[in-house]
Amino acid sequence: MSVMTLEKTIIRARDVSVYYGEKRAVSNIHMDIERNSVTAFIGPSGCGKSTLLRSMNRMNDLVPSCRVTGSIEVDGTDINSADVNIEGLRQVIGMVFQRANPFFKSIYENIAFAPRFHGLTDKRKLDEVVEESLRKAALWDEVKDRLRESALSLSGGQQQRLCIARAIAMQPTILLLDEPASALDPISTMKIEELVMSLKEEYTIVIVTHNLHQAARISDKTAFFLMGELIEYNDTSKLFTTPENEKTEAYISGRFG
Amino acid sequence: MRAKIMDRAATVILTLIAVLIIGTLVGLLGFILTQGWHKLNLDFLTSPPDIVKAGGGIGPQLFNSLYLLVLTMVIALPLGLGAGIYMAEYAPDNKFTQFIRMSIEVLSSLPSIVVGLFGLLVFVNMTGWGYTLFSGALALTVFNLPLLVRVTEDAIRNVPRSQKEASLALGITKWRTIVSVILPAALPGILTGTILASGRVFGEAAALLFTAGMSSPDLDFSQFSLSGPTSPLNPFRPAETLAVHIWKVNSEGLAPDARDVADGAAAVLIIAVLLFNLSARWFGAWIYKKMTSGAN
Ligand SMILES: Nc1ncnc2c1ncn2[C@@H]1O[C@H](COP(=O)(O)OP(=O)(O)OP(=O)(O)O)[C@@H](O)[C@H]1O
Ligand SMILES: [Mg+2]
């Protein structure tokens, strides 16, 4: 498929609801996410941001009580249909979690592990992938002399960038970031923000954040959720200056949440 | 103020308990080692026992114990690991799983003599093998499986969930995630359990009396076949282990130095278990380091 024929919409959610047992955590979401853009999910704690994000690469499969209804299409394929290869899907859609979770392995191995598993065994090519991913994650200069050291010897901010590099190494088209900077200091946070903005050239990014300034700074579109419902979804500049919904306005002006 | 006094009291009591335990342990070890120390020479460790005369050694028994340990672990470890992985990662939360769990509990609380008699019935008589090393290894497998399963399951469950999520989110299959991410992280726990089980195997007597037997053929250490009747490596021969030997010499030894031999054998047993513990720990730390930093 050439770039010209690609549709603008890459993720299309239609009437998506997510249940944990009987409890509905996400209700009837309709949403189109645009290719090569940054989309931010905001909303008070427990409103279902993570739940919706995790249903986009089927991480919710890990929760036995969890059930997803409606349809989520990625590049036109319903990801919940029976014939979808879930490992293949997760290669296309990378994910970075709120708490940095590097493997208990070396820095090098953290990144090389997945590409090697997926068939890249040539040592030189692997080295290249590791270097390139670390460069893109703005971590290369800090770790290039200690690739064989344990990833746990890195600082929290470095660990999180390592996790981003690890996701990038799979050459995904979509990156799902669940509050990637919430546990980090301001400088590390800034680095991650810069990283996100530089990555959108190549990837479609969906980022959950509690930091409204962050959402305003780095995203093209913002979705505001409340109690499992999508209240407002709009261009970020619009949503933060002239919100259409009064609940959105109440939230961004800090009156609740 | 009150809280402070309570805190003081608790500290004192806990320290006392700790000192008591350590004191008992050190005392016991010291006693056994000082009693048996004079016996520790190469001749005692390598020569065969003597039933009526003084001066017999424990060579075959020491070899039997080590060989039995290896045999048991070769059988028990894969089973224990497999079952532990199943219980931690695959078993659905239902009645059947609960039943398995209960069976493991029951099995782990069986006295070893009962396991020994069960072994006599099944691995000795029903199979028609008679007293053999292999029967002993199977009995000890039954004896240690619950421990190994539980330790493996716990070690796997203690690996942070985020490790598993990280791997699955990269499109790695569940099995590969278990093998390459979860097991290495669980290794220290599994290893500790394996050491515990090994110590139990090495020191076990009751479960072996009626399975591996209370006698050894005259072993010919120049032989390496797996089947000759006097070949040390033949798993289908009777084999008296060190612990069984201590028990036998103590209760029915005829040699004039029976007490001496028992003391010496006990010291060897303790030292072997200690050595084994230390080296296994060192080995575990080494493997862990190897696995957690670069693989190639
Ligand atoms: N594994 C689970 N089992 C049961 N309920 C869950 C589970 N995970 C989340 N929930 C529930 O689903 C709802 C949405 O949770 P979710 O984690 O998606 O919220 P969130 O918007 O990401 O919140 P936060 O900003 O605090 O991360 C909450 O009410 C939560 O209690
Ligand atoms: Mg969340």
- Domain presence at residue B34: no
Residue % of chain B over a pLDDT of 70: 98
Using a CB-CB distance cutoff of 8 angstroms, which residues of chain B are in contact with residue A167?
169-170
- pLDDT tens by residue, B208-225: 888 887 777 777 777 777
- Domain presence at residue A144: no
Domain around A211: 3-99+171-252
Query: Mean pLDDT, chain A, as a whole number?
Result: 91
What is the CATH classification number for the domain harbouring A240?
3.40.50.300
- Domain presence at residue A75: yes
Domain count of the fold of chain B: 1
Domain count of the fold of chain A: 1
- Domain presence at residue B12: no
Do the beta carbons of residue A11 and residue A32 sit within 8 Å? yes
- A171 membership: H or E segment, kind and range: none
CB pairs under 8 A between A and B: 84
Q: Do A166 and B173 touch (CB under 8 A)?
A: no
- Domain presence at residue A48: yes
What is the CATH classification number for the domain harbouring B254?
1.10.3720.10
pLDDT at A138: 86
Lowest mean pLDDT among A160-169, A223-232, B268-277: B268-277
Q: Distance (Å, rounded) from C-alpha B261 to C-alpha B40? A: 10
- pLDDT tens by residue, A58-112: 999 999 899 999 999 999 999 999 899 999 999 999 999 989 999 999 999 999 9
pLDDT at B230: 76
- pLDDT tens by residue, B254-267: 778 888 888 888 88
Q: Is B230 buried (19+), middle (13-18) or exposed (0-12) by CB count in 10 A?
A: middle
Residue ranges of alpha helices (H) inside chain B are 2-36, 42-46, 59-85, 95-108, 112-119, 133-157, 161-168, 174-177, 183-203, 206-209, 242-252, 258-292
Domain around B100: 40-293
Q: Do B168 and A90 touch (CB under 8 A)?
A: yes
Whether A217 has its CB under 8 Å from any CB of chain B: the answer is no
Residue % of chain B over a pLDDT of 90: 39
- Domain presence at residue A45: yes
Q: How far is the CA of A8 from the centre of ligand 2 (A)?
A: 27
Picking from A88, A101, A117, the nearest residue to B176 by CB comes out as A117
- Domain presence at residue A53: yes
What's the pTM?
0.84
Per-residue pLDDT for B293 more than 70? no
Using a CB-CB distance cutoff of 8 angstroms, which residues of chain A are in contact with residue B292?
104-106, 150, 152
Per-residue pLDDT for B207 more than 50? yes
- pLDDT tens by residue, A163-187: 999 999 999 999 999 999 887 788 8
Q: Distance (Å, rounded) from C-alpha B110 to C-alpha B105? A: 9
- Domain presence at residue A62: yes
- pLDDT tens by residue, B6-59: 999 999 999 999 999 999 999 999 999 998 888 888 888 888 888 777 777 788
